[in-house]
Structure 1
Amino acid sequence: MDRKVTIQDIANMANVSKSSVSRYLNDGYVSEENSKKIREAIEKTGFETNFFAKRLKTKKSGLIGIVIPRIDSVTVGKFLNGVNKKLKENGYQGIILISELDLDKELANINSLNQQGVDGIIINSMAITKKHIELTSKLRIPTIFSGQKNEFINYIKIDDYEAGRIMGSYFKAKGHKNIVFLGVNEWDKAVGVDRKNGFVDAIKENNSKCEVQFVETDFSFICAYNKAEEVLKYNPTAIVCATDNICLGILRYLHENKIKVPDEISVAGFGGYDIGSVSYPTLTTVAFDYELIGMKSAQGILDLIEGKGLEENGDTSLKLIERESVREIK
């Protein structure tokens, strides 16, 4: 009987390393030249990998579950790019499930991925509830959350409070005293609480005459547009929006009603979306590196799978981008 062809045999025939063949078989990065040589060697030998046999031997599937709240989001898209880049570099593939902004479905997705035998799960979560903690604590595979934090779970996230402080300090320096913060419900602790609190704390520091009103919206363009009339009842000199997408709804309403930005009212947001650089006027924002968050989340889950400790939740690159949508109050 002919001897079974191994990965080492393919590596020898292609004159590449064994690890290169392994990355090729797991859709990891291999140069175009080496990919061609490996592919030709596989075709000549009829070599095939058996996924399930490999899993039984290594106790790993090479799959990472990824739970996201929605697919029609600029931030989620950039986050997934970062996750995919890091997983691909390490020979892993992602399985994506979408929760459609439903917390119960998010929990069901986590459970489903666990049952499918993934090696770990990344959860771009809307909120961390008691049920999230109970479920993930029972799993025999590691999980990591992004977007939200809790002392009882592994997480990688943006410092939303610091982002709020950056924007608050900026508007304080610009002399604004009457501001509306157009934000989201507090069930989203990161955006609905931390981002808002950071802004309020910074702008009111040694600035007692400053007033910040709060109007609640959701994350959609249309809801922000519909809330604009309520916002303007406060006669603010500035509207600070919890995300750049919310800003776009406000800008549309102000434009339609011939209210000039920033001459009559200033507008700013959070996120650093590309569209903010081409809107009219261009949008002042605190930019987040969502792709970096994705890469850090992926590296975090890979480290946990290997039994390593999770690195401290360090720099995630917050940056104030000053554009045309804010004026200084003399």
Structure 2
Amino acid sequence: MNKKITIQEIATMAGVAKSTVSRYLNNGYVSKEKAALIDKVITQTGYKSNFFARRLKTKNSKLIGIVMPRLDSFSASKLLAGFNSILQKEDYQVLILVSDLQIDKEIANIRQLIQQGVDGIIVQSIAITKEHLSIVKNAPIPILFTGQSHPDTTYLKVNDIKAGHIMGEYIASLNHKNVAYLGVSPLDIAVGVDRYKGFADTFLSIIPDGKIHFIETDFNFDTAYKKGNEVLFYKPTAVICATDNIALGLLRYLHEKNIKVPQDISLTGFGGYPYSKVSYPSLTTISFDYKYLGAKTAEKLLSMLHGNAVQSEFDNNMVLLTQESTRKI
């Protein structure tokens, strides 16, 4: 919508007082019901508050918003450490909101940070939807994605296809032909689609008569544990898990069933979490440098804040750690 719209018009369309819209735009108290009405009108009209335009031209808040899907993971802690290592040098403080792996909450968190007047936002996204793209298009501040990629956004993320490719080559080199892949929902394009595609395409190109049995789980240790019986149904010689946490959940199940790793089944993960080295047996995995990725992401956002055009890119900083959980057959 090209026509300039006023606060009064927003108030009329939302059926609330002008003062209520003003409080909403300045992060004052507004009831959830009225906030929802105002937010809907702002989204429909593409309205941008002059408050944010003035702030961007004059004085920065020195606040960076960060949206994370969860905090109780190794990757989250390392990413945050990387963000902070760069941002604190430039006297920025961070506001962290957690989406609890919920798309709607992630979107609400992004909107909330914009309303709070942060200078820029980093989103460790679960997925990038049409609503994400609408926010990016209309936001008065730069938004950088690091969990997922989309051609209409600016992003920096792990190259999941390459990670899957490395693992596919490795498993093929061990002469495995009948394997299971314990992966996550395809709604997660990065881990659920790209990581699996990288593995499957490479493995089958080397082992044309190979078989891959895909079993869907989530990121939870206990859920992976409960998938153990389904995995064993296919009698695989190797199981590739989409994350280290998933692999360790399955490892516990195999231990309880007296199935030896790697003598009976080889097992791998992705992530390179510290506990993959102290598990028994230690876990073969693709190790990502999440702290490096976090620091590089923060640097890219700062460049955007300085008005520079930045390119989206995939991070290839990864290494295969061959440990005790795999063997050649």
TM-score relative to the length of structure 2: 0.82
Alignment of 1:266-281 (within 5 A): 266-281=266-281
Deviation for aligned residue 1:310: 1.3
Q: 1:77 maps to what in 2?
A: 77
Asked whether the 8 Å contact 1:292–1:316 carries over to 2, the reply is no
Determine the C-alpha separation between the residues in 1 that align with 2:320 and 2:56.
50
Alignment of 1:123-202 (within 5 A): 123-202=123-202
Q: Name the SS for the 1:236 alignment partner.
A: coil
Q: Name the SS for the 1:117 alignment partner.
A: coil
Deviation for aligned residue 1:293: 1.2
> RMSD in angstroms over aligned alpha carbons?
1.2
Q: Which moved more, 1:136-145 or 1:55-64?
A: 55-64
Asked whether the 8 Å contact 1:78–1:291 carries over to 2, the reply is yes
Deviation for aligned residue 1:59: 2.1
Deviation for aligned residue 1:191: 0.2
Q: 2:44 maps to what in 1?
A: none
- Deviation track 1:20-71 (CA, whole Å, cap 9, x = no partner) reads xxxxxxxxxxxxxxxxxxxxxxxxxxxxxxxxxxx79842011000000111
Q: Name the SS for the 2:158 alignment partner.
A: coil
Q: 2:243 maps to what in 1?
A: 243
Q: 1:265 maps to what in 2?
A: 265
Deviation for aligned residue 1:74: 1.1
Residue type of the alignment partner of 1:166: I
Asked whether the 8 Å contact 2:179–2:211 carries over to 1, the reply is yes
Determine the C-alpha separation between the residues in 2 that align with 1:135 and 1:57.
21
Q: Which moved more, 1:304-313 or 1:119-128?
A: 304-313
Asked whether the 8 Å contact 2:154–2:312 carries over to 1, the reply is no
Q: Which moved more, 1:225-234 or 1:89-98?
A: 89-98
Deviation for aligned residue 1:96: 0.4
Determine the C-alpha separation between the residues in 2 that align with 1:144 and 1:86.
15
Residue type of the alignment partner of 2:252: R
Determine the C-alpha separation between the residues in 1 that align with 2:299 and 2:141.
15
Deviation for aligned residue 1:311: 4.4
Determine the C-alpha separation between the residues in 1 that align with 2:121 and 2:206.
44
Q: Name the SS for the 1:88 alignment partner.
A: helix
1:205 counterpart = 2:205: yes
Q: Name the SS for the 1:205 alignment partner.
A: helix
Asked whether the 8 Å contact 1:67–1:110 carries over to 2, the reply is yes
Deviation for aligned residue 1:312: 5.1
Asked whether the 8 Å contact 2:156–2:315 carries over to 1, the reply is no
Q: Name the SS for the 1:212 alignment partner.
A: strand
Q: 1:122 maps to what in 2?
A: 122
- Deviation track 1:245-303 (CA, whole Å, cap 9, x = no partner) reads 00011110000111000000000000000000000000000001111111111111111
Asked whether the 8 Å contact 1:289–1:316 carries over to 2, the reply is no
Determine the C-alpha separation between the residues in 2 that align with 1:89 and 1:207.
50
Asked whether the 8 Å contact 2:262–2:325 carries over to 1, the reply is yes
1:218 counterpart = 2:252: no
Determine the C-alpha separation between the residues in 1 that align with 2:161 and 2:256.
33
Residue type of the alignment partner of 1:88: Q
**How much identity, in percent, do the aligned residues show?**
51
Q: 2:112 maps to what in 1?
A: 112
TM-score relative to the length of structure 1: 0.81
Residue type of the alignment partner of 1:144: L
Q: 1:94 maps to what in 2?
A: 94
Determine the C-alpha separation between the residues in 2 that align with 1:261 and 1:194.
27
- How many residue pairs get matched? 275
Determine the C-alpha separation between the residues in 1 that align with 2:293 and 2:128.
18
Residue type of the alignment partner of 1:325: S
Deviation for aligned residue 1:140: 0.6
1:228 counterpart = 2:246: no
Asked whether the 8 Å contact 2:169–2:206 carries over to 1, the reply is no
Deviation for aligned residue 1:315: 4.1
Determine the C-alpha separation between the residues in 2 that align with 1:183 and 1:109.
27
Asked whether the 8 Å contact 1:293–1:316 carries over to 2, the reply is no
Structure 1 159/56 Cα, relative in aligned 2: closer, same or farther at 3 Å? Answer: closer
Deviation for aligned residue 1:73: 1.3
Asked whether the 8 Å contact 1:179–1:239 carries over to 2, the reply is yes
Residue type of the alignment partner of 1:223: T
Q: 1:49 maps to what in 2?
A: none
Deviation for aligned residue 1:314: 5.3
Determine the C-alpha separation between the residues in 2 that align with 1:95 and 1:188.
25
Asked whether the 8 Å contact 1:83–1:294 carries over to 2, the reply is yes
Q: Which has the larger radius of gyration?
A: 1
Determine the C-alpha separation between the residues in 1 that align with 2:328 and 2:124.
37
Give unpaired runs (5+ residues) of structure 1: 1-54
Structure 1 289/56 Cα, relative in aligned 2: closer, same or farther at 3 Å? Answer: closer
Deviation for aligned residue 1:316: 3.7
Give unpaired runs (5+ residues) of structure 2: 1-54
